[in-house]
Structures are given as C-alpha cells and as structure tokens.
Copies of this chain bind each other. A is one copy, B any other.
Amino acid sequence: MTTVGIRDVARLAGVSVTTVSHVLNETPHTRVADETRDRVRDAAATLGYGPNLVAQALRTRRSGLVGLLSEEIATTPHAGRIILGAQEAARAHGLTLVIVSAERGNNAEAHRADIQALLDRQVDAVLYATMYHRNIAVPANLVDVPAVLIDATEGTGALPSVVPDERGGAVAAVRHLAEAGHRRIAFLNNDDDVPATHGRLAGYRQVLSEYGIPFDELLVGASPSEPAEGYALAKEILSLQRPTAVFCYNDRMAMGAYRAARELGLSIPDDLSIVGFDNQEIIAANLFPALTTVALPHYEMGVWALETAIGMFADGAERPPGPFEPVLLPCPLVPRDSVAPPRQP
C-alpha cells in the first residue's frame, strides 16, 4: 500500500499544500478560484487521497475518537444495542468509536486505568455505560474529559446521564392490561435495591390508582429476576390468589411465569395475560405465545449519549456547567400475543 499524502495531491494539481488543505476542508472565509478547486479535487480523486487522520488529530488537537467504556459487553445483548446506537451516531458525525470492555467486578482502580488509556489516546469524549440501570460512583479521572453516563446515574449530578424511564414503561404495561379489562393484576418484582425495582413498582401503583383499583399486597411479590425464581414466585401467587393478569419485572421472570401457568393448566392469554419488561427478543419473540413486553431504549441511549458528548466538545460549544438531571428516555410497549381480555367472571 503506497500511501499518498497531501504533498502528492499538491504536486499533481500544481498548487501548494496549503491550497489543497483549504479546498479539501472547505475552510470558511477562503476564496479559491473555481478552476483551482476543480484541479485539486480531480487530483485527490485520481490519487484516491484520504487525509491521514492521525496527523490531522495531532495538529487540530481533536482526535475524532470517542471512547465507550462498557461493563460486560459480552453477557447481555443490551450492551450491543448501546454500542450500535453510539456507533451509528458517531459515524453520522464523522467520529469513530473506540470501545473498551470494563473489567468485571466493578474494580474502580481498573476502570480508572481503562479511562486513562482512553485519555492517552486523546479521545474527545468518553461514554460510560453500565450493564443495567444503577447509581454509581465514577472514577475520578472521568472529569478530565467530556463524559456522559449511559444507563447510570451518579449522585452529584456532575455528569450528564441518560436512563430508561422505568416508571413510564411500567405505566404503559399495566395500562395495557387495565385497558384490556383486567382488574386483578399481579406484579412479580425484582428484589434488588436498584432503580428499576422502585420505578416499575411506582408505575404499577400509579396505574392502579388511575383505575381506582386498590393495592393488594398479596398480588405483589419479589424475588431474584431469573426464570427459576420467577417460576416459584408465579406459582405461589397464581395458586393462592387468582389474578387474571401478571406484570413481570422482566422477560426472564415472565419465562418462569409461563411455566407456572402451564403447570397450573392456565392457558395464555385466555386464562392469564402476561406482560414482561426488557424486550429481550430471543425470549419475548420466541416464547409461546409471543410475549407482550416493554422495550428498553438502549439504542436510543447510545445515540443520546454520543450526541450529548459532541455538544460538550464541539466548536463554540460551551461545556455546560451542571449539575445535571438524569434524562429519562421512554420505554415503549411492544404488543405481541400474551394479552387478552379476562374471561367473563
């Protein structure tokens, strides 16, 4: 690969490198004769010239790189959608995404080192994504660069951050059930102290009061948010109580609820309607019947974060002072086949 430089273009066009730079970059306030412009462009095209972005970065002190530090890139498809959103937004702005998967175990010191590596690379900004919505303490050196949090908040409001509107998503889910006519709606919650647990419960309660349905604590349970535990919890609540619908903290618990319903001889959706949360395609679309659920805005959070970061380092943009309120992105309902009106009483 013979590498062609700006000098080669200048020589072929018979102009100086200054002029080549001006026309190729369309430098504002610079008049260049049309005829010269064309000559330069032709020369660049015939040589297949593309500027060396490393040199450009050194000179302009802008690398065009944005770093994405993500926990657990591999284990969840969610991370993939964040990456995709950030990546497509980056490409749309001529930026390149550099990714590093954070060490497991939440080792703050290791994260600091990962961020330092990104800083040494001169990234223009860093995006910091956690694997699920939570409150975190950020590594100290994150303040050395425009940074934004994805799926995470941090108490002080020092950084812009974007998270799912958990409550709003739950409201959509439970309203969907209520609108279908359900009044005895169980809720299988997670038992971790994380924002989604509280937010989804709040949404559930909100809809109950909207519809004047009394809160019945026998219809609400909490367990680890996995299929096996969801199954046990569903079995208990479905056996003792007689809800006509159940809203599950996530699709994995809904998987368990499907099994419980099956074992109790309850047919979905005729005997029991179920709504999940997370929209994990591989579960939701392939359960039988397909699961109605609520989508998490991972792609959108990736886009939002990237664009917010750009706003922090773009020319002329002042880095906003903060403190920042977390931005909530909507969690839309994804209707499939697991909801029907309750049977006639």
Seen from chain A, the residues whose Cβ lies within 8 Å of a Cβ on chain B are 1, 50-55, 57-58, 63, 65, 73-77, 79-81, 83-84, 87-88, 91, 96-101, 116-117, 119-122, 144-145, 226-228, 231, 252, 255, 259, 262, 280-283, 286, 288, 299
Does A50 lie within 8 Å of B80, measured CB to CB? Answer: no
Known contacts A96-B117, A97-B99, A288-B259: does B52 contact A122 (CB below 8 Å)? yes
In the assembled complex, the CB of A104 is this many whole angstroms from the nearest CB of chain B, namely 11
Check B58 against A55 for contact (C-beta < 8 Å). yes
Chain A contact residues, majority secondary structure: helix
* A to B CB contacts below 8 Å, 6 in the list: A1-B145, A73-B83, A73-B84, A74-B77, A76-B77, A98-B99
CB contacts (< 8 Å) of A98 on chain B: these are 65, 96-99
Closest residue on chain B to residue A77 by CB atoms: B77
In this complex, which of A63, A252, A282 has the most chain B Cβ atoms within 10 angstroms of its Cβ? A282
Q: Shortest Cβ distance from A242 into chain B, in angstroms?
A: 24
Contact B53 A120 (CB under 8 A): yes
Q: Told that A54-B121, A76-B77, A97-B100 touch, could you supply 19 new A-B pairs with CB distance under 8 A?
A: A1-B144, A50-B116, A50-B119, A51-B120, A54-B54, A55-B58, A58-B58, A74-B80, A74-B81, A74-B84, A75-B77, A83-B101, A88-B101, A226-B286, A228-B286, A255-B286, A262-B262, A282-B283, A283-B286
Contact B63 A73 (CB under 8 A): no
The CA of A53 and the CA of B191, in the complex, are separated in Å by 45
Complex: A255 Cα to B281 Cα, angstroms: 14
CB distance from A3 to the nearest CB of B (A): 9
Q: Which residues of B contact A96 (CB under 8 A)?
A: 98, 100, 117, 121
Q: Which of B53, B87, B121 contacts A101 (CB 8 A)?
A: B87
